[in-house]
Structure 1
Amino acid sequence: MGRAIIIVLDSVGCGAAEDAGVYGDAGADTLGHIAQACAEGCGDRVGLREGSLRLPNLDRLGLGRAMQASTGHSSPGLGLGEPAGQWGYGVETSLGKDTPSGHWEIAGTPVQFKWGYFSQTMPAFPPEFTRALIAEGELPGILGDKHASGTAIIEEFGEEHLGDLKPICYTSADSVLQIAAHEHAFGLERLYALCKIARRLCDPLNIGRVIARPFVGRTSADFVRTAHRKDFAMPPPAGNLLERAALAGHEIICVGKIGDIFAHRHTGRELKGANNNDHVDLTLRALAEARDGALIFVNLVDFDTDFGHRRDVPGYAACLESFDARLPELTAAMRDEDFCIVTADHGNDPTWRGYDHTREHVPILSFGKGVAPGPIGRRETLADIAETIAQRLGLAAGAHGRSWLA
């Protein structure tokens, strides 16, 4: 049977979806635009990287082919040779383009309800919500109360926050409330407690996530977010892959923020580090320890958080190349019967306007020593990933999607 591994490269989309225009994202292409920018010299940064995008290990699995199948054209630096893995692309059917929508669909349960969103106005939050948060959180007030980039709003309000300890509350185009506070002056546990209050207040509004965003530093010049981010998500739909695996008695190991995304339900042993490299290390640890039949579910978030939202093309390109360089370690740690899928949950095109996610197809690359390479085509839902894994692990089929394995 072997083990099954899902690695989600958070936000690494491969071309605008057919409904991208509904989301204001017609023409977005995270991977394609990064590759083009690098070929044109716009992906260079002194001391970080230079030249064309170099992803030889992902490309060997079929990334270039998957991108071409999605968009209809090739991308500079990515080849179209015969891949050693199975390759294709997936179409997200969930409503919304944020993290829970993508991950829940990858796990076999597409989002079929409408998320709640906060207003584009200033203030963004309903007054009754803000009053309740202030009262129940015993706060002197809040700062922000608008749509914003996380790093920009901390720079804008961080010094004021240190003076009055009002938390910085903001949102985005996603169904999310983010609360930033100084890890020491405000207190990490106090921030988490406030987010739990906010989670309860957000439930009637159908807001997908409340995210704690602790930061440190003394001035706007040196504020930096810490690794103690925590997501408080709505519970996932019943019947997802994690639930099926847990009920069947399979070992489950979740790496990165998977536990947060699935509200810690059926998430087994959770391993969490500070960045992508930590999470690759923890995945290698999981591969060394997990028994036969285990499900290992990994999220690598740096692409999205550190570079997509910040519209940082060189940083995003370097992050992709860094993961690509470590892929052989993961492959070497797999046993003969193991099966791995590398995919993404949405896009976050760093060349795009604004600072929000982009509605895109996602690459799907699958491999293992016993897996015959070749195209898996266009997958009409990301739930096909869950059903393919379910087949490999001998789990009952879910209500959505179908396996691409014979």
Structure 2
Amino acid sequence: MARAIILMADSLGIGATPDAHTFGDTGANTLAHLLAAYHGETGQKLALPNLSKLGLIEACQQASGTICQIAQSFAPIAAYGYAKELSTGKDTPSGHWEMAGVPVLFDWGYFPQTVPCFDDEFINELVKRTGIAGILGNCHASGTTILEQLGEEHIQTGKPICYTSTDSVFQIAAHEAHFGLEKLYQICEVARELLDDMNIGRVIARPFLGETAAEFARTGNRRDYAVLPPAPTVLDKLAQADGQVISIGKISDIYAHQGITQKFKASGLNNLLDKTAEVMSTAPEKSIIFTNLVDFDEKFGHRRNAVGYAQALAEFDAYLPKLIALLRPDDVMIITADHGCDPTWPGTDHTREYVPVLAYQPNMTPINLGERNSFADIGQTLAKWFDLPAMEYGESFAQSLNKAN
């Protein structure tokens, strides 16, 4: 039985969806805008030959009607299309869960755009249960900016830095050495329990190092505490059918460790790709190897660094031939995203966009998959691919892939 390798290019949106106006994102296009920004900044067009061959540029141009400023465009050799989100939000769990066949059709709980933004009762209970002296922050903030503003005070007072964003998330930043990593995790576990009734999607531990505002930097020991998906995902179904679901990066955290049979942590784009290659070399048949490439979103999208995003995308592109060479004849490699995060867009939040749906098998005939009505089409395709019970949502394109070979 075949394997599936999923590369989640976190935040690589390819054009605003029809409902983007309800999110204030009309006109957003992560890929097209970062390419244009790179061209404007460097005077050169970015080269993405491998992603272009897999259909990324064609999918973006079809989704948005925008001509991408790319050094050279190649005819696709894969199945390629673009999907809009059925879920109500544009957050990380919603995008990942929907891709695995379980869209989020309810509204998450969110914190108000006020200062302070966290309820006194919740914070008082958090302080009581954990024994901390109090918190800093208590606001909507950029994760890097708030470290510059409050990191030194955190070291002096021992109070963790608590903040949120427009996503359904409660984030806690603390210094690994001065505060302690295990202590940070323990506080996050308490916060997770307290926030369940408020329907907050994730609690995130954000450890960092450094001694001054100019030096503070997050470490690779981030940990997400997510609520469970509302129904079994295709990952659960494969694991229950004695298959392997191998998480690389933060995938296991996003799915609350459900449906995951093995997990590997890595930090940084190249380390994540290296771990993916290593696992592909040994993973058995009937496996999903699922990697989240978080740098695109965390280091470049949210920080509105379009040129850095473009350069990281070129690094990913250059690595792809190594992964393609590791594919077995019956394997399929899927490249997609969970939302957009247009680095040229106002603010620092995700953008409501189509995501690419690129599926490649060795020696296949290219297929234009067109517009997909849900990210769940990927989950339904994987269910068919592994002969699992069908998912409730999504339309499979597995038959198209089989016809191509």
- Provide the TM-score with structure 1 as the length reference: 0.96
Secondary structure at the residue paired with 1:116? coil
Query: Who is 2:227 aligned against?
Result: 234
Displacement of 1:247 in angstroms is: 1.1
Worse-superposed segment, 275-284 or 208-217:
275-284
Displacement of 1:80 in angstroms is: 5.3
| Partners of 2:235 and 2:382 in 1: CA distance | 11
Query: Who is 1:47 aligned against?
Result: none
The aligned amino acid for 1:14 is I
Of residues 264, 282, 288 in structure 2, which corresponds to 1:289?
Answer: 282
| Partners of 1:3 and 1:370 in 2: CA distance | 16
Query: Who is 1:365 aligned against?
Result: 358
Of residues 92, 95, 100 in structure 2, which corresponds to 1:102?
Answer: 95
Displacement of 1:141 in angstroms is: 0.8
Q: Deviations over 1:12-49 (max 9, x none)?
A: 000111111111111111001011112222xx4xxxxx
Q: Deviations over 1:198-255 (max 9, x none)?
A: 0011101100000000001111010111000000000112221111101111111111
Secondary structure at the residue paired with 1:65? helix
Aligned residues: 399
Displacement of 1:371 in angstroms is: 3.3
Displacement of 1:74 in angstroms is: 1.6
Matching of residue 120 in structure 1 with residue 113 in structure 2: yes
| Partners of 1:189 and 1:61 in 2: CA distance | 42
Matches within 5 A, 1:15-94: 15-41=15-41, 44=42, 51-77=44-70, 81-94=74-87
The aligned amino acid for 1:27 is G
Displacement of 1:405 in angstroms is: 2.8
Query: Who is 1:182 aligned against?
Result: 175
The aligned amino acid for 1:12 is L
Worse-superposed segment, 245-254 or 165-174:
245-254
| Partners of 1:231 and 1:279 in 2: CA distance | 17
Of residues 310, 320, 340 in structure 1, which corresponds to 2:313?
Answer: 320
Worse-superposed segment, 123-132 or 365-374:
365-374
| Partners of 2:243 and 2:372 in 1: CA distance | 26
Secondary structure at the residue paired with 2:398? coil
Contact 2:269-2:293 within 8 A present in 1 as well: yes
Matches within 5 A, 1:255-404: 255-369=248-362, 371-404=364-397
The aligned amino acid for 1:155 is E
Of residues 136, 142, 146 in structure 1, which corresponds to 2:135?
Answer: 142
- Provide the TM-score with structure 2 as the length reference: 0.97
Q: Deviations over 1:278-310 (max 9, x none)?
A: 111111111111111111111110000011111
| Partners of 1:88 and 1:57 in 2: CA distance | 16
Query: Who is 1:170 aligned against?
Result: 163
Of residues 136, 146, 155 in structure 2, which corresponds to 1:153?
Answer: 146
Secondary structure at the residue paired with 2:335? strand
| Partners of 2:98 and 2:74 in 1: CA distance | 30
RMSD value over aligned CA atoms? 1.1
Secondary structure at the residue paired with 1:244? helix
Displacement of 1:372 in angstroms is: 2.6
| Partners of 1:220 and 1:80 in 2: CA distance | 43
| Partners of 2:106 and 2:364 in 1: CA distance | 36
| Partners of 1:184 and 1:233 in 2: CA distance | 25
Contact 2:233-2:259 within 8 A present in 1 as well: no
Contact 1:59-1:78 within 8 A present in 2 as well: no
The aligned amino acid for 2:236 is E
| Partners of 1:196 and 1:134 in 2: CA distance | 13
| Partners of 2:65 and 2:380 in 1: CA distance | 27
The aligned amino acid for 1:22 is T
Percentage identity across paired residues of the two chains: 50
Contact 1:337-1:370 within 8 A present in 2 as well: no
| Partners of 1:113 and 1:366 in 2: CA distance | 29
Displacement of 1:79 in angstroms is: 5.2
| Partners of 2:38 and 2:296 in 1: CA distance | 16
| Partners of 1:125 and 1:84 in 2: CA distance | 50
Secondary structure at the residue paired with 2:107? coil
Moved over 6 A (4+): none
**Structure 2, unaligned runs of 5 or more:** 400-405
| Partners of 1:343 and 1:23 in 2: CA distance | 21
The aligned amino acid for 2:11 is S
Q: Deviations over 1:89-122 (max 9, x none)?
A: 0111111111100000000000011100001000
